[in-house]
Amino acid sequence: MTFRLFGCVCGQFHSPGAGMGMAGERVSVPIPFYVLEHPDGVALFDCGLPTAMCDRSESYLKALQTQDLDVTLTPEETLTSHLQRLDIDPAKVRFAVLSHLHFDHAGGLRELPNATVVVQRREWEAGFDREASQHYGLRKRYFDLGHAVELVDGEHDLFGDGSAVCIPSFGHTPGHQSLRVRSRQGDHILVGDACYHCGVVESRQFPEYSDQVAMNRALDALLALREERTVMVFGHDPDQWGARPVLPGTRA
Ligand SMILES: [Zn+2]
């Protein structure tokens, strides 16, 4: 069985360094999503930003700016542009596995009309709970789009062959999950926002709104999954997407 895993950068997030657990008054970090081409179908892990961010017509930008946050996205970086370069028809994407429901991870879902959304049940429920969705900034307009939804509880083997397994990593949001992709070259653990970047492994500087105890526990559990050739791919790590990206991808 052969499959391919790609990493794609779908825009940049701009924020005060402290919010990302990084030095510097303002930092810019990549917003990645991942494409897994499996014999039984194409799965995405996360979906990047909504395309309407390109021309800045997305109204949520204003709300972000009041929190000193911004995003930028070029037309070449959209989810659809990346899939086109990989010769993948967005309408044929089978699974959209979401680490969590933040707009920079679920935003491209609108471009995948036939995908089944695979998400932890507790994340989905938080998305529809008034208090939790407000606290964690989960906006229905990015995920409640009428897709088929597969709610999972804890670990979930996506294709039933161990090649891609959802690993619960709660805390960043109530039902955050990561994805372990297994190949002959070793594992890639797509960490998502359970750990923004390499420095957080040591600093344990997590977002203020997150459950600190749960995030520490989740990160410890993810790190314990490492084997000799395991690559941890962090949620927004500029060092993993520069001149030598951690995964092959498509170049905008
Ligand atoms: Zn997030």
Ligand 1: distance of its center to the CA of 184 in Å? 30
Instruction: Report yes or no on 245 lying in a domain.
Output: no
What is the mean pLDDT of the segment spanning 103-109? 97
Better-predicted residue by pLDDT, 57 or 164: 164
How would you list the strands of the sheet with 231-234, edge to edge? Answer: 156-157, 164-168, 177-183, 186-192, 231-234
Ligand 1: distance of its center to the CA of 172 in Å? 7
pLDDT for residue 185: 87
Ligand 1: distance of its center to the CA of 40 in Å? 29
First to last CA, the chain: 29
**Residue 207 has which token pair?**
């977002």
Instruction: Report yes or no on 62 lying in a domain.
Output: yes
Distance CA 223, CA 232 (A): 8
Encode pLDDT of 88-101 as tens digits. 999 999 999 999 99
Per the structure, how many domains does the chain have? 1
Instruction: Report yes or no on 216 lying in a domain.
Output: yes
Ligand 1: distance of its center to the CA of 108 in Å? 14
Is residue 13 within 8 Å of residue 22, measured between CB atoms? Answer: no
* Other residues' Cβ atoms within 10 Å of the Cβ of residue 194: 31
Ligand 1: distance of its center to the CA of 127 in Å? 13
Distance CA 214, CA 100 (A): 15
Is residue 250 within 8 Å of residue 7, measured between CB atoms? Answer: no
Instruction: Report yes or no on 102 lying in a domain.
Output: yes
Better-predicted residue by pLDDT, 33 or 183: 33
Distance CA 144, CA 125 (A): 12
What is the mean pLDDT of the segment spanning 207-221? 97
Better-predicted residue by pLDDT, 38 or 24: 38
Is residue 35 within 8 Å of residue 86, measured between CB atoms? Answer: yes
pLDDT for residue 93: 98
Question: Hey, what amino acid is at 69?
Answer: L
Q: Which domain holds residue 11?
A: 4-240
Residues with CB under 5 A from ligand 1 (ion): 102, 193
Percent of the chain with pLDDT over 70: 100
Provide the CATH number for the domain around residue 200.
3.60.15.10
Ligand 1: distance of its center to the CA of 91 in Å? 26
**Residue 186 has which token pair?**
């070793």
Residue 1 has pLDDT above 80, yes or no: no
Residue 50 has pLDDT above 80, yes or no: yes
Ligand 1: distance of its center to the CA of 163 in Å? 25
Q: What residues contact 87, with CB distance under 8 A and at least 6 apart?
A: none
Average pLDDT of the chain is 96
Encode pLDDT of 166-177 as tens digits. 999 999 999 999
Encode pLDDT of 61-79 as tens digits. 999 999 899 999 999 999 9
Half-sphere exposure of 182 (CA within 13 A, CB side): 15
Ligand 1: distance of its center to the CA of 171 in Å? 10
What is the mean pLDDT of the segment spanning 40-59? 95
Residue 204 has pLDDT above 80, yes or no: yes
Residue 19 has pLDDT above 90, yes or no: no
